[in-house]
A = this chain, B = another copy of it.
Amino acid sequence: MNRFGNKFRISIFGESHGPQIGIVVDGVPGGIPLSPDDFTEDMSRRRSGASGTTPRKEADVVTIVSGVFNGHTTGSPICMTFMNNNTRPSDYEKFESHPRPGHADFTATRRHNGYADLRGGGHHSGRVTIGLVAAGVIAKKIIEPVSVVAKISEIGGFNPWDDALAKAAEAGDSLGGIIECRASEMPVGIGEPFFDSLESVISHIVFAIPGIRGIEFGDGFAASKMKGSQHNDPIADETGKTLKNGSGGINGGISNGNELLFRVAVKPTSSISVPQHTFNFYSGEVEELRAEGRHDTCFALRVPVIVEAAVSIALADLLM
């Protein structure tokens, strides 16, 4: 199911080592200004190269294939593509016999009858999220004045974290992290309970991002340890503003006009140069595996802009 959304409808395609990654966005009204320059900032935030992220370099320049004319959306589907220039003919066949721990090698092989393209993770690669970020650029325009901001709040359990990152890189190991996301200027009334509660829709798309292990809204897991008299959050004025926002801006699955607030847990990068073990499906024995390739020490560092995109897409779908 490579599509999402009822009104702001996206369809994603492409593999890490195929010629292009892309996304089709359907449902965008005609008349929204859109140019390749609009993508520069978010692409740059997502791109590799910062400390702690993979040395694979891609220009990540968007090609707008359809749906934009004279600098404005036309109301027809917007297809956007990105070239994969910097692929390396890696020994991907190994991953079918020796599926990497923590990767989709084993599950994708089984899911697709043995025909999955495993090169660089194929369609399961984090590279596919470039399409999500591109769609997010459009979604952010649609949801204005709602403004979504996601930031790293913790890396490897530390805040700040520079030293931890350097040590992990040196050891050939990796780190996870926590991302906090807030959306301000939320109107009251967004969310479609029973089944499309605001938390349901946001968590649905956020868990599409590879490597997410958990999500919590407002007080989150801490709420389970509170008394009602501590967690309850008095309404303070006629706008619906509450005193503590412990529900993360949502009641009964519907936005209450306060800041939307949630956190996601990102696992440490699976590919590490520390030796690991895995089962060799050809020999039938457990063997040592040493991931070579180019990898992020902490791919969580690249996730905030992806989370922003995901939430903006979800909100665009609910707000339209």
Contact = CB atoms under 8 A, between A and B. Distances in A.
A213 B238 CA distance: 25
A92 B214 CA distance: 37
A183 interface: no
A271 B231 CA distance: 11
A270 to B, nearest CB: 6
Contact of A268 (B2, B123, B223, B237): B223
B279 A234 contact: yes
Given A194-B208, A208-B253, A117 B74 contact: yes
Nearest to A295: B228
A94 to B, nearest CB: 14
A147 B137 CA distance: 41
Tier of interface size on chain A: 35 or more
A207 B213 contact: no
Contacts of A107: 188-189, 191, 240, 250-252, 254-256
A234 B204 contact: no
A173 interface: yes
A2 B231 CA distance: 28
Interface in A186-216: 188-189, 191-197, 199-201, 203-205, 207-208, 210, 212-216
Contact of A193 (B124, B226, B228, B271): B124
A199 B210 CA distance: 11
Contacts of A114: 30-31
A110 B189 contact: yes
A13 B77 contact: yes
A197 to B, nearest CB: 5
B173 A117 contact: no
B14 A3 contact: no
A159 to B, nearest CB: 11
Contacts of A255: 107
A253 B209 CA distance: 9
Nearest to A4: B195
Interface string A285-310: 01000000000000010000000000
Interface in A133-158: 154, 156-157
6 contacts: A174-B229, A213-B217, A224-B267, A228-B270, A229-B276, A235-B278
Interface of A: 1-4, 6, 9, 11-15, 18-22, 24, 26-27, 29-31, 65-67, 69, 72-79, 81, 99, 101-104, 106-108, 110-117, 119, 122-124, 128, 154, 156-157, 168, 173-178, 188-189, 191-197, 199-201, 203-205, 207-208, 210, 212-221, 223-238, 240, 242, 247-248, 250-256, 265-272, 274, 276-279, 281, 284, 286, 300
